[in-house]
């Protein structure tokens, strides 16, 4: 039908689905197609989403500096559009990339900003995601007390929502605390929450 934005949205959804399956290289191909189509159509909200999608795929492939570049561009465009959900998603991607570059203070700052946006939006699952990733940055950066407190906040929300992942997060938190107690120091594992 010649619907460029429609094709772009389809590629964007394939990006998300493939990345959930761990097929990051294929996901990146679709993210880049979505970006080209949204840009050509002058569809700015889609352009911002696709920039963030490309950034997230680069992060998942381990190209964290590339991820930062794309997610920063997405954040700027989302800010211009006044899209708070998009801003939170971009900040999450930036935090993830900073974390994996060992820049824990920057990662924490990004996740804290994303958390504030999720709170403002009333997005409880987004709040959980930001809390878990913030806890991961605390943990890997050596601040284990704040990590546990932050993860417990996430678990409280999951329990309130009767979310099926609450038991998995509870088990991971208990396992992490057990490693910390046994080793007298940091455990290698971090709580995991799927990247959306």
* pLDDT tens profile 76-95: 999 999 999 999 999 999 99
Q: Per-residue pLDDT averaged across 25-53, rounded?
A: 97
**Cα distance between residue 144 and residue 52, in whole Å:** 30
Which of 76, 17, 80 has its CA nearest to residue 52? Answer: 76
Whether the Cβ atoms of residue 131 and residue 150 lie closer than 8 Å to each other: yes
CA count, 13 A, side-chain hemisphere, 42: 0
Q: What is the pLDDT of residue 191?
A: 53
Q: Are 74 and 82 in contact (CB under 8 A)?
A: no
31/181: higher pLDDT: 31
Q: What is the mean pLDDT of the chain?
A: 90
- 184: confidence class by pLDDT, cuts 50, 70, 90: low
| Alpha carbon separation from 184 to 169, 171, 172 (Å, rounded) | 22, 20, 18
HSE of 156 in the Cβ direction (CA atoms, 13 Å)?
Answer: 8
Confidence of residue 188 (pLDDT cuts 50, 70, 90): very low
Q: What is the mean pLDDT of residues 100-123?
A: 97
pLDDT interval class at 181 (50, 70, 90):
low
pLDDT of residue 180 exceeding 90, the answer is no
Predicted structure pTM score: 0.87
Task: pLDDT band for 68, please (50, 70, 90 cuts).
Answer: very high
Cα separation of 190 and 164, whole Å? 19
Predicted local confidence at residue 8, as pLDDT: 96
What is the full DSSP assignment across 9-34?
HHHHHHHHHHHHTT-HHHHHHHHHHH
| 69 pLDDT tier (thresholds 50, 70, 90) | very high
Q: What is the pLDDT of residues 6-32, one digit of tens each?
A: 999 999 999 999 999 999 999 999 999
Q: Using alpha carbons only, what angle is made at residue 46 by residues 44 and 48, rounded to the nearest 5 degrees? A: 70
| pLDDT at residue 187 in the model | 44
For 8, 146, 184, 194, the CA distances from 178, given in Å and listed in that order, are: 46, 16, 10, 23
Q: pLDDT-based confidence at 73, cuts 50/70/90?
A: very high
Where is 168: in which H helix or E strand?
Answer: helix 166-183
Instruction: Return the minimum-mean-pLDDT range out of 25-34, 138-147, 165-174.
Output: 165-174
Helix (H) or strand (E) holding 147: helix 144-160
Nearest to 16 by CA among 62, 56, 76: 56
């Amino acid at each position: 039908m010649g619907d460029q934005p429609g094709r772009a949205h389809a590629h964007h959804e394939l990006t998300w689905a493939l990345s959930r399956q761990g097929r990051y290289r294929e996901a990146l191909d679709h993210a880049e197609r979505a970006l080209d189509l949204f840009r050509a159509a002058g569809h700015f909200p889609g352009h911002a989403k696709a920039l963030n999608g490309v950034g997230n795929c680069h992060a998942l492939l381990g190209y964290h500096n590339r991820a930062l570049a794309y997610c920063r561009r997405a954040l700027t465009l989302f800010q211009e559009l006044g899209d708070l959900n998009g801003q939170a998603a971009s900040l999450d991607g930036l935090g993830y990339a900073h974390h994996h570059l060992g820049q824990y203070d920057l990662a924490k700052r990004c996740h804290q900003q994303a958390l504030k946006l999720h709170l403002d939006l009333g997005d409880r699952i987004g709040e959980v995601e930001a809390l878990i990733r913030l806890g991961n940055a605390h943990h890997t950066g050596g601040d284990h007390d704040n990590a546990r407190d932050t993860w417990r906040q996430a678990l409280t929300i999951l329990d309130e929502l009767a979310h099926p992942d609450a038991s998995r997060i509870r088990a991971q938190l208990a396992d992490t605390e057990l490693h910390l107690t046994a080793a007298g120091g940091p455990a290698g594992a971090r709580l995991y929450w799927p990247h959306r």
